Chain A
Amino acid sequence: MAQTQQYTFKDFKSDQEVRWCPGCGDIGVMNALQKAMAQMGRNKEDFAVISGIGCSSRFPYYMNTYGFHGIHGRAGVLASGVKTANPDLSVWQITGDGDSLAIGGNHFIHEIRRNVNLNIVLLNNQIYGLTKGQYSPTSLFGQVTKTSPYGTIESPFSPGELAIGARGKFFARTVDIKIKETTDIFIEAEKFKGTSVIEILQNCVIYNDGCYKPITSKDTRDDAQLWLEHGKPMLFGKDKNKGLVLDGYELKVVTIGENGVTLDDILIHDAYMEATFLHSALIDMQTPNFPVALGVIRAVDAPTYDGLMTKQIEEVKAKSSIKCMDDLLNSGSTWTV
């Protein structure tokens, strides 16, 4: 329904005490979502915030919307069920790297493949927080945790690559402390029709503090963050004089003014491009050789699962002679005794 009330972010705060650790990255993300929801032009009762299990999955309790805290790994199917049942709702799936990439990995890829029109907020802190510090599917290779006292011997998932591998249509990445940028991305995700995956690089102050420090610290962040905007050149650095070019099949960092490079040489971001190769290359970039790509990396229009279901129901209803149960019961082969 169209919005009938004006909101501020405070309208989206529930009366429950926020129990995340002081300094937890989740708090900023919650603030950003509350700000974003106030600006989405929708009524409060039309939001459903759905989660699985984990620190980030406590999120729904703090939102003054409809909310459902599910079971471990099943946020994706719970959210898919809500959205398919009622496509008029704005559905927000809040999940973590354990919830969606380990126990819920299967649901994660399939909901993306179906392109259910909902928003997945994936808070990636590269650790299991709620169970107190075991490695997750995004923990770095060799990372020492309580269950990998000698270092992990597993390669981590890249959530973005996984999303693209599942034929994902929308992928954005942001950082927990960048509240304004995160708010804007949430608004973009809501506008997008399809499964929006928003990976949030989120710091766990207790069990994995500083895991994103190379990207977020004052002295490195300018060179480590590339904020992408559709139609704009891929520039970064303190003076916005660094950029990306294609060198053969690979991305390369260049500096404008050096080696004859001009602004015209810099790649222009095209989030709407169906082909995945450049989006994949952007998602793959890692410090220190590259900046980390942030912002809306991919946003490609495609029919949604819930939209197609509604359409199919309308088409079949229009064609079928069965309009009610009595019609069905008396259809096909019958006889009278």
Chain B
Amino acid sequence: MNKKIIEVDEVVIKFAGDSGDGMQLTGTQLSHTSALLGEDVSTFPDYPAEIRAPQGTVGGVSGFQLHFGKIVDTPGDYYDVLVAMNPAALKANRERVKDGGTIIVDIDSFTEKNIKKAEWTNEGIKTEILDNYNVIQAKISTFTKESLKDMGLSSKDMLRSKNMFALGIIYNLFDYPLKHTEEFFEKKFAKKPSIVEANKKVLRDGFNFAINIHAMPSYRIQPGEIVPGKYRNINGNQAAAWGLLAAAEKAGLELFLGSYPITPATEILQEVALRKDLGAKSFQAEDEIGGVVTSIGASFAGKLAATSTSGPGLALKSEAIGLAVITELPLVVVNVQRGGPSTGLPTKTEQSDLLQALYGRNGESPLPVIAASTPSNCFKYAFEAAKVALEHMTPVILLTDGFLANGSEPWKIPSMSDFPEIKPKFAEAKADGKYLPYERDENLVRTWAIPGMAGLEHRIGGLEKMDLTGNVSYVPENHEVMSHLRDDKVKKIADFYPEQEVEGSENADILLVGWGSTEGHLITAVRELEEEGVPVAHAHFNYINPLPKNTGEIFSKYKHILVCEINLGQFVGYLRGIYHEYDFLQYNKIQGLPFTVLELKNKVKQILEK
């Protein structure tokens, strides 16, 4: 029997199961293999906040989404293939399967009890699923046990490998080689050959099962249009940590990261903790405040100092960030946004800390805010944030979010020679022995005198300081002078930023405006609209405060300006405050999820039809 072959540009797959089913590992292996085959890949893990949420319930479903193909800018919105390890996983994801898509289920798990746990019925499954999709009902648990029955493993241990059976099916579906995943197990469990053998065997058996049942189509993906070069996979947290390390190297300084574990930012601390080989110091403090304040101490002592956190942690750090503002010390605060307020949705993504980053401190407390917009450019913008902090003597907030932090993509490995030097402005002792810590250059930047430098002993602190000397001052006029100096210093940083670029059709009636992690979805929406003959322009902002100098000029060119964000309208409010003369439309979503391309396209069409 000949297999039906479907030629496609791209495919979206979702693996879903209980938190303990190994869906993250399965997804990572598939993304790794497809990347090695030269396809463009974007991934997004989606997991509950609980480590082992109640088994079999919709709330406990853990997922891993992958998008691969020719041009890929997002992890995809709707699935060509869904692998559901139990009824809850199927129920939670059913609405995102494309019409006519393929669903692979572990039919062994569709017991009465599990269907009930998912708050579903056999009738529901039939009418909602079986009648509408190409469903492969595989006895994944039974086959896995059968496959491993001679290996002397317990039933529980055998079932741990069932994710590999599912992966084997998928590898067959795309005609992918097994060898990269086999090598992964050989390396990872080098000292436990039985685990290596078990996983390899189940993977092969899953692959063979798919051959035997002849029930599935086979996808053939158009090769990616990737620039030749050496690649690696990277996620946003790793990229942010590495960007800071890279900046430290370029500045000739050691990196100091004072931090406290918090979802979804923890991995940044873990990455830096690994890098003692590069001389990086990580300090896991007793709380968020301790994390940022140890970093401020390290900055005073002459290190490239950073702290990593998420929304609630940024709130706790706000007083200390104000201290870095008034003492004018370099500091990078990486805030990986998540759903809020309060504890909110720790594992879900949101862009709702923008106003906190801009204004969430007491007093007039300006600082630069930069936002990364893809998993891999977290490296570039972490580097940039550190450069701004060190060269302009200021704390900088770098915004990423859960979507970027956990999402991964292939990254063309840069060379450090491609990056600019970073030149901190160290103080030099004068012959007269007088040091003015708050004397400024033409960019209003003060100098950095570090304990251990002779002749530059000075005192700084959180009390308002006298211009030039830095001594404590309650002089009314001085406070006004200093407030303006601090504000103007941050504004002047725009002189060092590149012009804001506009993608898409310059002559379009509508400009899509986004910032941060929505970039991939906006780019894709613009590309698809253009293919449909709808001209659209797109300006995506990474520099939030200050904004690039040509920002107003861009806005002047379009009939409609639509600002799209995963919040209730924070960036649009900020823009309205600065550019009163333009009428900004807004499109917001706040479900802990990214936009879908379809949602964006529909919104644009709706505006243009009016």
Chain A residues with a Cβ under 8 A of chain B: 1, 14, 16, 43-48, 50-51, 53, 60-61, 63-71, 74, 77-86, 88-89, 106-107, 110, 309, 312-313, 316-317, 319-320, 322-326, 328-330, 332-337
Closest Cβ of chain A to B561, distance in Å, is 38
The answer on a CB contact under 8 Å between A74 and B301 is: no
Contact indicator A317/B279 (Cβ below 8 Å): yes
In the docked arrangement, what's the CA distance between A48 and B303, Å?
15
Whether a CB of chain A sits under 8 angstroms from the CB of B249 is yes
B462, A70: Cβ atoms closer than 8 Å: yes
Contact of B461 among A69, A110, A319 (CB under 8 A): A69
Q: Does B601 make an interface contact (CB < 8 A)? A: no
Residues on B with C-beta less than 8 A from A317 are: 276-277, 279
List the B residue with the shortest CB-CB distance to A59.
B459
In the bound complex, do residue B230 and residue A69 qualify as a contact, i.e. CB atoms below 8 Å apart?
Answer: no
Task: Tell me how far the C-beta of A208 lies from the nearest C-beta in chain B, rounded to whole angstroms.
Answer: 24
Q: How far is the CA of A61 from the CA of B461 in the complex (A)?
A: 9
Chain B residue at smallest Cβ distance from A320: B277
B229 touches A46 (CB 8 A): no
User: Could you give 16 example pairs across A and B, Cβ below 8 Å?
Assistant: A44-B454, A45-B451, A48-B300, A66-B459, A68-B460, A69-B461, A70-B462, A78-B297, A79-B297, A80-B297, A81-B256, A82-B297, A317-B276, A330-B413, A335-B231, A337-B224
In the complex formed, the residue of A with least CB distance to B233 is A333
* A53→B323 CA distance, assembly (Å): 12
A66, B297: Cα distance in complex, Å: 12
Chain B positions within 8 Å of A67 at CB level? 457-461
**Contact present for A313 and B281 (CB under 8 Å):** yes
Which listed residue, B230, B289, B449, B461, touches A336 by the CB 8 Å rule? B230
Q: Which residue of B256, B258, B293 has the most chain A CB atoms within 10 A of its CB atom?
A: B293
CB distance from A156 to the nearest CB of B (A): 23
Most buried by A among B233, B414, B460: B460
Most buried by A among B246, B249, B276, B413: B276
- Distance of A69 Cα from B229 Cα, bound (Å): 51
CA distance A320 to B277 in the complex (A): 6
Partner of A329, one of B295, B303, B413: B413
Considering only residues 229-267 of chain B, those with a C-beta below 8 Å from chain A are 229-233, 242, 245-246, 249, 254, 256, 258
Q: Are A84 and B281 in contact (CB under 8 A)?
A: yes
Which of A65, A82, A309 lies at the interface centre, i.e. has the most chain B CB atoms within 10 A of its CB?
A82
Known interface pairs A46-B452, A82-B451; A74-B457 also in contact (CB < 8 Å): no
Q: Does B533 contact A (CB under 8 A)?
A: no
Which of B233, B275, B300, B459 has a CB less than 8 Å from the CB of A61?
B459
User: Given A85-B301, A337-B228, A337-B231 in contact, is the A46-B451 Cβ separation under 8 Å?
Assistant: yes
A86 partner residues in chain B, CB cutoff 8 A? 301-303, 451-452
Residue of A nearest to B226 (CB): A337
Bound CA–CA A197/B302 (angstroms): 26
B35 within 8 A of A: yes
Contact B278 A335 (CB under 8 A): no
Q: Given contacts A86-B301, A309-B281, A317-B276, is CB(A81)–CB(B296) below 8 Å?
A: yes
Whether B456 is near chain A, meaning CB under 8 Å from some CB there, is: yes
Bound complex: CA A3 to CA B226 (Å): 60
Q: Do B459 and A107 touch across chains, with their CB atoms under 8 A apart?
A: no
In the complex, what distance in Å separates the CA atom of A43 from the CA atom of B231?
Answer: 50
Contact with A along B212-232 (1 / 0, CB 8 A): 000000000000101111111
By size class, the interface of chain B is 35 or more
Residue in B35, B287, B303, B323 whose CB lies within 8 Å of A335: B35
| A260 CB, nearest partner CB in chain B, Å | 52
Measured CB to CB, the closest approach of chain B to A173, in angstroms, equals 25
Q: Does B230 lie within 8 Å of A335, measured CB to CB?
A: yes
Output the least CB separation between B229 and chain A (Å): 6
Residue in contact with A68 in the complex, picked from B36, B226, B297, B453, CB distance below 8 Å: B297
Whether B256 pairs with A61 at a CB distance below 8 angstroms is no
Residues of A within 8 A of B296 (CB): 70, 78, 81
- Check B460 against A313 for contact (C-beta < 8 Å): no
Q: A33 CA to B566 CA in the complex, in Å?
A: 55
Write out, one digit per residue, whether chain B residues 427-458 have a CB within 8 A of any chain A CB (1) or not (0): 00000000000000000000001011111111
B498 to chain A, nearest CB (A): 23
Contact across chains for B461 and A45 when beta carbons are under 8 A apart: no
Partner of B295, one of A70, A81, A326, A337: A81
Residue B197 is within 8 A (CB to CB) of chain A in the complex: no
User: How long is the Cα–Cα vector from A241 to B256 in the complex, in angstroms?
Assistant: 55
Residues of B within 8 A of A329 (CB): 232, 242, 413-416
Q: Which A residues are in CB contact (< 8 Å) with B449? A: 66
Partner of A334 from B300, B413, B461 at Cβ < 8 Å? B413
Residues of chain A within 8 A (CB-CB) of B375 are: none
Decide yes or no: A336 and B231 within 8 Å by CB, A70-B293, A70-B461, A78-B297 being known contacts.
yes
- Chain B residues near A70 (CB, 8 Å)? 293, 296, 323, 461-462
Given contacts A313-B281, A320-B277, A323-B277, contact A106 B229 (CB under 8 A): no
Shortest Cβ gap from B228 to chain A (Å):
5
Cβ distance B367 to chain A, nearest Cβ, rounded Å: 16
Given B227, B277, B289, B297, which contacts A50 in the complex, CB threshold below 8 Å?
B297
With beta carbons under 8 angstroms apart, the residue of A50, A63, A88 that contacts B452 is A88
A251 to chain B, nearest CB (A): 34
- CB pair A77 B289 closer than 8 Å: yes
Bound-state CA distance A86–B279 (Å) is 12
Query: Which residues of A are found within 8 Å of B276, using beta-carbon distances?
Result: 312-313, 316-317, 320
Given contacts A86-B302, A333-B232, contact A69 B294 (CB under 8 A): no
A71, B323: Cβ atoms under 8 Å? yes
Q: Is B285 among interface residues, defined by CB-CB distance under 8 A?
A: yes
Task: Give the CA-CA distance A312 to B554 in the complex, in Å.
Answer: 52
Contact among B228, B233, B275, B323 for A328, CB-based, below 8 A: B275
Q: Are B231 and A45 touching (Cβ within 8 A)?
A: no
Q: Is the CB of B283 within 8 A of A322?
A: no
Per the bound structure, the CA–CA distance linking A89 and B290 in Å amounts to 20
Distance in angstroms from A325 CB to nearest chain B CB is 5
Quick check: B298 and A84 within 8 Å, CB to CB?
yes
